[in-house]
Structure 1
Amino acid sequence: MGIMLKQVTKENWYECNNLEVYKEQEGIVAPNYNSIILSLLYENWNAKCIYEDDILIGLLLYGIEEDTSKPMLLRFMIDKKFQGKGLGKKAMLKLLDLIKVEYSNIKFYTTVSPQNISAKKLYESVGFEYTDEIMWDENVMVVQL
């Protein structure tokens, strides 16, 4: 089965909310409840649980950013128990395939904190490149799909 992206539901939201990152990542990665709430309050944001087979391993949030109208990945996290195993890259590739279906050939954006070296490497490994923009005190990256 591999990596699957599933909608956050009343059946999986609690488990998704309880996923954890390492202590040193806590100031960089937003809490999952924040992403879940955004997806419920705003139609332009979609939260997806990331599964490896039937095991919940992460969460992501993507959509259209209100101020810039750019399609973007707003949040991406893999639980600390599953980091460093290549699952983040597989999940990111699955997301990019989904974005191609939902939005067609577009530029897809994300932001990365200068301190988040692992996220920077992940994004670069799937084709994201830096722009000259700064958003929310983070560097903006883009990939052409």
Structure 2
Amino acid sequence: MIRLQTINEANYERCLALKATVANTNFVDTVTYSLAEAYVFYHDMKPFAIYEDDTMIGFVSMYVGEKNYQIINFFIDDAYQKQGFGIKAAKVCIHFLQKEYNAARVSCPVDLHNKDAQAFWKKLGFQFSDTVENGYVFMRFMIPEDKNSSF
């Protein structure tokens, strides 16, 4: 079962070792960068390790400030890609934002040139918005009002 876990002294070294190979290294921030960003913006950034049962398989950093809920940095480690974990983990992230922050909308900034990520988020129902900042297009997902629906 996919779950999010707070990063702590017991798992941070494993988390720092996570790696996702992409065509352009600018497409995905390192865990080190994301944890530093979360430290500086500790009220608004929530970093988590992504686990499948007891195995750490990925990382996500979410922005929760100003009621502008975003999945900022999300990836599954190379060793666990192409096994269906990405879609399941992304749904867990959306559910977390809905449950913990009552989010009605989730945004995801995606590099304008990262076609793979754009296709991934579209599979989940994210749509392109008109918002483009610093080379990132914000893809948005509206959470269904029916809290019992599964997206």
Q: Give the TM-score, by structure 2 length.
A: 0.86
Contact 2:6 2:49 in 1 (8 A): yes
Q: Distance in 2 between matches of 1:120 and 1:58?
A: 18
By how many angstroms is 1:53 displaced?
A: 1.1
Structure 2 match to 1:17: 16
* Displacement after TM superposition at 1:74 (Å): 0.9
1:80 corresponds in structure 2 to 78
Q: How does 1:1-145 map to 2 (within 5 A)?
A: 2-22=1-21, 24-42=23-41, 43-64=43-64, 70-145=68-143
RMSD value, Cα: 1.6
1:106-135 alpha-carbon deviations (Å, 9 max, x no partner): 211111113322211221111110001102
Question: 1:24 aligns to what SS in structure 2?
Answer: coil
**Would you say how many aligned residue pairs link Structure 1 and Structure 2?**
142
User: Are the aligned partners of 1:8 and 1:49 in contact in 2 as well (CA < 8 Å)?
Assistant: yes
For structure 2, which runs of at least 5 residues remain unmatched after alignment?
A: 144-151
Identity level (%):
23
Structure 1 unaligned spans of 5+: none
Contact 1:8 1:36 in 2 (8 A): no
**Matched residue of 2:26: which SS?**
coil
* Deviation of 1:65 (Å): 5.3
Question: Residue 73 and residue 23 in structure 1: after superposition, are their counterparts in 2 closer, same or farther (change >3 A)?
Answer: closer
Q: Compute the displacement of 1:105 (Å).
A: 4.3
Output the amino acid matched with 2:117: A
SS in 2 for 1:27: helix
Distance of 2:103 and 2:8 partners within structure 1: 29
TM-score, normalization by structure 1? 0.90
SS at structure 1 position matched to 2:23: helix
- Give the deviation of 1:37 after TM superposition: 1.5
